[in-house]
Amino acid sequence: MQVRKVEDCRKPTFLGIGSQRCATTYLNQVLGAHPNVQMATKERNFFNYNIRHQGLSWYLQYFRQSTEEEIQARGEISPTYAVMRRREIRLTKELFPDLKLILLVRHPVDRMWSALRRHWTYSYLDDVADVGKDVSSMLGYADQRLADAFGDYRAIYRNWTSVFDEDRILLLRFDRMKNEPDRTVARVLDFVGVESDIEWIRSYRENANIRNQSKADVDMPAYVRYYLSRRYLDRTKTFNGMTDGFVQDWVEDMEATVSDAPLSWEARYQLRSTAWYRPVQWGHRLLDPVRTWWKVRHAHQNLPTTSG
């Protein structure tokens, strides 16, 4: 059985696929406010979760709420799409082959630290500062598969470009969104086929209430920065090569962090990686293909199909 391509005119024309802690909430807000863009509620997580439980009609209802003729693009942003497996991505393309994709990336060390701070912010702990001094708890969070995967842009980019052509993916940096928000949003609008208006974008930003910010004000310990730089350096080098030097400054920053560290930190890193991180990752590599196969097989039960 093959999945039938969705022909309904009320369907998404673009997806924001992540990554987490990379300004996707702000992008969702500004696009949702634009008169020519229709946005589904953020984090519908359809292609990696709700596709199995809700079905296609549930998803398409988010793009049928407007009959306005001025709508030029329809989209949805779910940061967890970044870490979808290739089988799930192929199913996404079978349903919506003409999708455009927006991928926001952030320095992987800073991204992880932002995720940690937000974790503390919403964990309802009494003393966030004390938690921020507990290096073991930081590394434990960073070693979790999903927390780790959201900064592995090598794998994210490789998986998505193995299914969608590179010219259908707009690659953006978090720091550009932060430092040049109006120009960056204009690039997104142009990419999804909506005429950009810098004055409208600036006016929205100046009056926006940006949500989803961390409240924990804790400095990153030097060893944690080393640990994360050591973890992500090779992956980021590969990603940098895949994107023609897109993140060369990140590579140089992590190289400097690693080279300036005491030798004892490398031994400490290798010990934890061997005893904990690598076994956990290997376990997921063995189990994830089976889980993904089951997820996609189950998803087909809620999708229109054709014989073939």
- Long-range CB pairs of 265-273, under 8 A, 24+ apart, other chains included: 265/223, 265/226, 265/227, 266/230, 268/223, 269/226, 269/227, 269/230, 272/139, 272/143, 272/227
Q: What is the mean pLDDT of residues 69-83?
A: 93
> Both tokens of residue 196?
């950009």
pLDDT at position 97: 96
> Is residue 108 predicted with pLDDT exceeding 90?
yes
Phi, psi of 212 (to 5 degrees): 70, 30
Mean pLDDT computed over every residue of the chain: 89
Token pair recorded at residue 96: 């919506």
pLDDT at residue 118 in the model: 82
What is this structure's pTM? Answer: 0.91
pLDDT of residue 8: 62
Segment 103-122 mean pLDDT: 89
pLDDT band at 105 (very low <50, low <70, confident <90, very high): very high
| pLDDT band for position 294 (cuts 50, 70, 90) | confident
Is the separation of the CB atoms in 105 and 19 below 8 Å?
A: yes
Lowest mean pLDDT among 88-97, 118-127, 248-257, 290-299: 118-127
What's the confidence (pLDDT) of residue 307?
44
Q: Which residue has 């089976």 as its token pair?
A: 290
CB 72 within 8 A of CB 83: no
Query: Which domains does the chain show, CATH number per domain?
Result: 2-306 (3.40.50.300)
Query: Which token pair is 146?
Result: 């999903």
Instruction: Kindly tell me if the per-residue pLDDT of 256 is higher than 80.
Output: yes
Position 47 pLDDT exceeds 90? yes
* Single-letter amino acid, residue 198: I
Q: What is the pLDDT of residue 224?
A: 95
pLDDT over 80 (residue 64): no
Of residues 286 and 203, which shows the higher confidence score? 203
Average pLDDT over residues 219-223: 91
